[in-house]
């Protein structure tokens, strides 16, 4: 366990996939503690993507103002439930003010959560 990080997450899980940068470590650690709160409710989480440097974000077709570039976002897979149930559980936690009420997006294989200041919701599943 890394000092200052929650027990179930390691800084390496939050690094950019292309350059291994962590971005702002303080922000990454805040996101990690928020994800720990989610994990405590839903069980183990896998982080598909968290911090993205601007180049990596462009390469993967990320939004121009992506929260991933700000180090406040993570694309999550729960090992004990599918993306829809994870989305509903996170939404409940947001509505109860357990975690920041930021962005929540549903995709085919993962759920996006971010800590933006204004709530946002979207569904990007294949039709």
**Angle in degrees, CA 93, 99, 102, rounded to 5:** 95
The answer to the question of residue 63 being in a domain is yes
- With respect to residue 112, please indicate whether it lies within any of the assigned structural domains: yes
Q: Is residue 2 part of a domain?
A: no
**Which residues pair with residue 69 across a beta bridge?**
none
Task: State the CATH number of the domain containing residue 77.
Answer: 3.30.1380.10
Q: Is the residue at 4 inside a domain?
A: no
pLDDT per 10-residue tile (average), the chain, 127 residues: 92 98 96 98 98 97 94 97 97 98 97 97 87
Domain count for the chain:
1
pTM: 0.94
Residue 3 counted as domain residue: no
The parent domain of residue 20 ranges over: 11-123
pLDDT at residue 127 in the model: 65
Element (H, E) at 36: helix 25-42
Instruction: Say if 1 falls within a structural domain.
Output: no
In a domain, 6, yes or no: no
């Amino acid at each position: 366990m890394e000092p200052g990080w929650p027990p179930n997450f390691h800084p390496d899980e939050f690094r950019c996939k292309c350059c291994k940068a962590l971005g702002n470590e303080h922000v990454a650690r805040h996101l990690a503690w928020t994800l720990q709160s989610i994990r405590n409710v839903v069980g183990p989480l896998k982080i598909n993507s968290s911090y993205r440097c601007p180049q990596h974000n462009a390469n993967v077709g990320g939004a121009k103002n992506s929260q991933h570039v700000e180090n406040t976002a993570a694309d999550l897979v729960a090992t004990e439930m599918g993306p829809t149930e994870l989305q509903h559980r996170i939404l409940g936690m947001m509505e109860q003010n357990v975690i920041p009420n930021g962005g929540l997006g549903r995709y085919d294989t993962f759920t996006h959560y971010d800590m933006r200041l204004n709530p946002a919701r979207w569904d990007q599943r294949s039709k």
